[in-house]
């Protein structure tokens, strides 16, 4: 072996060893993460087994929750979670989409950076701060604004949804902006060359092209909304068994309610620890919340994957 080859061999060997070390360390991190997730899921299911054996589907569809009588029905909390999340999405999505369109389609690089930084700054505010703002200001404003409808108090499902809309706004805005920026500039240029205005190219080209990414952003925002605890706990009212006869009820919307996260974050978790069946019911709520959040995230990732494969096919055909 020449002197030059002898010098190169240790370098190549060091590179191979470094690549192997990176691969196996990354694999170890992945295995630890998956093991922790699987262990958490199995532990919760194991802890919830007694309530599943006793009530079965009645635990999910039961209307009453009254632990002194061993009555555990989660439907009212599922309803509260769904209503709060729906209110949050209804209020946040139009604002987030409008901000993303402005940032991605109309602003120059400097102004876009300022807008994105301001929006992302909202994501860095701790949830307890949002909750305190809700307690000090928002619930009083909601109570005064809804005074003609004679609400019980400012703590309600609507108040929780309004506060949650502000909290999920940065997530949806940032992801919608990324989806719009992923649309090739050539698509916009082609639309403009055909005589479309900028607004028409955004409406008829950019938004349809980015639609899967926008939907994925909304689903990820929904996943964030489902899992929020502290802020919702402080303003939702935490009233059990608030399940209206009509699915879309204004009276239920402006009344105190309960969500899965507010129940799990409340003092009843500590009270339940001494009662096996009660504790199993609380663990069952955690399983329901985990499943709902996982479905939203899985749907978002599935849409994102389909979008990437579709873009790759279009690029291959062109």
Using one digit for the tens of pLDDT, what is the confidence trace for 224-237? 888 888 899 999 98
Band (85; pLDDT cuts 50, 70, 90): very high
Of 89-98, 185-194, 232-241, 256-265, the range with the lowest mean pLDDT is: 185-194
Which tens digit of pLDDT belongs to each residue from 288-310?
999 998 888 888 878 777 766 76
Between the two ends of the chain, the Cα-to-Cα distance in Å is 49
Mean pLDDT value of segment 112-136: 88
Band (313; pLDDT cuts 50, 70, 90): low
Band (74; pLDDT cuts 50, 70, 90): very high
What pLDDT, on the 0 to 100 scale, is given for residue 314?
Answer: 56
Q: How many CB atoms lie within 10 A of CB 209?
A: 21
- Percentage of the chain with pLDDT > 70? 91
What pLDDT, on the 0 to 100 scale, is given for residue 1?
Answer: 47
Residues in the chain: 318
Question: Do residues 183 and 206 touch, judged by C-beta distance below 8 A?
Answer: yes
Mean pLDDT value of segment 134-163: 91
Rg (CA), the chain: 25
What pLDDT, on the 0 to 100 scale, is given for residue 167?
Answer: 92
For residue 13, pLDDT beyond 80: no
What pLDDT, on the 0 to 100 scale, is given for residue 97?
Answer: 94
For residue 78, pLDDT beyond 90: yes
What pLDDT, on the 0 to 100 scale, is given for residue 195?
Answer: 82
Which tens digit of pLDDT belongs to each residue from 264-292?
988 888 888 888 999 999 999 999 999 99
Mean pLDDT value of segment 60-79: 91
């Amino acid at each position: 072996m020449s002197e030059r080859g002898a010098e190169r061999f240790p370098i190549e060997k060091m590179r191979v060893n470094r690549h192997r070390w990176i691969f196996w360390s990354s694999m170890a991190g992945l295995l630890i993460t998956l093991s922790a997730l699987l262990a958490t899921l199995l532990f919760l299911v194991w802890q919830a087994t007694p309530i599943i054996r006793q009530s079965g589907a009645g635990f999910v569809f039961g209307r009453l929750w009254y632990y002194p009588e061993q009555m555990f029905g989660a439907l009212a909390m599922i309803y509260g979670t769904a209503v709060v999340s729906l209110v949050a999405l209804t209020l946040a999505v139009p604002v987030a989409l409008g901000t993303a369109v402005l940032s991605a389609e109309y602003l120059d690089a400097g102004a876009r950076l300022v807008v994105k930084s301001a929006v992302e700054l909202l994501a860095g505010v701790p949830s307890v701060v949002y909750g305190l703002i809700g307690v000090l200001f928002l619930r009083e404003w909601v109570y005064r604004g809804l005074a003609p409808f004679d609400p019980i108090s400012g703590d309600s499902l609507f108040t929780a949804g309004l506060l949650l809309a502000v909290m999920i706004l940065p997530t949806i805005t940032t992801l919608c902006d990324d989806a719009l920026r992923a649309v090739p500039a050539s698509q916009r240029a082609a639309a403009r060359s055909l005589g479309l205005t900028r607004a028409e190219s955004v409406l008829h080209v950019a938004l349809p092209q980015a639609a899967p990414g926008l939907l994925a952003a909304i689903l990820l925002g929904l996943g964030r909304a489902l899992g929020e605890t502290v802020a919702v706990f402080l303003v939702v009212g935490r009233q059990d068994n608030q399940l209206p006869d009509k699915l879309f009820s204004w009276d239920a919307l402006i009344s105190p309610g309960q969500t899965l996260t507010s129940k799990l974050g409340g003092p009843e978790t500590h009270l339940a620890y001494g009662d096996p069946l009660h504790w199993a019911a609380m663990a069952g709520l955690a399983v329901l919340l985990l499943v709902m959040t996982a479905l939203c995230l899985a749907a978002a990732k599935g849409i994102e994957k389909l979008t990437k494969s579709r873009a790759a096919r279009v690029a291959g055909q062109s």
